A and B are shown apart, each in its own frame.
Chain A
Amino acid sequence: GQQVMQIPQYQHVQEGEDFTTYCNSSTTLSNIQWYKQRPGGHPVFLIQLVKSGEVKKQKRLTFQFGEAKKNSSLHITATQTTDVGTYFCAGINTGTASKLTFGTGTRLQVTL
């Protein structure tokens, strides 16, 4: 079945440093979504990417979708303690538009 892997599993940064998580799918995706889960919380939708090579920005967060639509990345510039949490990518295969396959997640810890 489809697998979606993320690296790294965990990253610890100091406030102000940048952070990047990478997402790789075993199959070509139609769309990819990103979610953030705070400790003890539930996943919250951040963004969706649809087009090959698409880049979207939300303030300090930059999301990219690979040209082959099999990988994606999330980059956070100048991390803040409010960025703490686990970031998940979630892929949607062509023909299964309603079904998300979540990645393994990257847990981000930010300290002062």
Chain B
Amino acid sequence: DAGVIQSPRHEVTEMGQEVTLRCKPISGHDYLFWYRQTMMRGLELLIYFNNNVPIDDSGMPEDRFSAKMPNASFSTLKIQPSEPRDSAVYFCASSLPVSGGAYEQYFGPGTRLTVT
């Protein structure tokens, strides 16, 4: 089992540039989550999908952020245009619900984004 795969692992870009982060969930998992982690704000849920459909995007900070899940094995998080305050570690996680609505999330290794 390869686990959740994220790419790139590190991204350094200049303010104003477009950034695309990629995620491949664990095969068979039908929930996919995007999180952002910073020292100031901790671990925040940005958006999550169920069966490729966005369920809750209330955590997406603003219109500069967008996420897609075109199929069960791939998702992207795009920031356009990027700003220095977007610098953070972005995690993708996936899960498969178990009985009673309880589940565990499997996190990818994260993408460390630096916007200069």
Q: Determine chain B's interface SS by DSSP, over half rule.
A: strand
> Is the CB–CB distance between A42 and B110 below 8 Å?
yes
Q: Are B55 and A88 in contact (CB under 8 A)?
A: no
Question: Digit string of A48-84 for contact with B (CB within 8 Å is 1, else 0)?
Answer: 1010000000000000000000000000000000000
Query: Which chain B residues (68-116) contact chain A, with CB distance < 8 Å?
Result: 91, 93, 95, 97, 100-110
Digit string of A19-62 for contact with B (CB within 8 Å is 1, else 0)? Answer: 00000000000110100000001111100101000000000000
| In contact, B109 and A42 (Cβ under 8 angstroms) | yes
Q: Compute how far the CA of A97 lies from the CA of B110 in the bound complex, rounded to whole angstroms.
A: 24
User: Does A100 lie within 8 Å of B102, measured CB to CB?
Assistant: no
Which of A41, A44, A100, A105 has the most chain B CB atoms closer than 10 A to its own CB?
A100
Interface membership of chain B positions 27-67, coded 1 if the CB is closer than 8 angstroms to chain A and 0 otherwise: 00001010100000011110010100001100000000000
Bound Cα distance A44, B95 (Å): 12
A2 to chain B, nearest CB (A): 11
Among the listed A33, A50, A96, A103, which residue makes an inter-chain contact with B104, where contact means beta carbons less than 8 Å apart? Answer: A33
Complex interface: chain B residues within 8 A of A33 (CB): 104-105
Bin chain B's interface residue count.
Answer: 20 to 34
Most central of B44, B91, B102, B110 by chain A CB within 10 Å: B102
User: Which residue, A42, A43, A48, A102, has most C-beta atoms of chain B within 10 A?
Assistant: A42
4 extra interchain contacts, Cβ-Cβ under 8 A, other than A42-B110, A43-B93, A101-B45?
Answer: A33-B105, A42-B91, A97-B102, A99-B45
Interface residues of A (CB under 8 A from B): 30-31, 33, 41-45, 48, 50, 88, 92, 96-105
- In the complex, 15 of the A-B residue pairs with CB atoms within 8 angstroms, ordered by the A residue number, are A30-B101, A31-B101, A33-B105, A43-B91, A43-B93, A48-B102, A50-B100, A88-B43, A96-B56, A97-B101, A97-B103, A98-B50, A98-B103, A99-B45, A104-B42
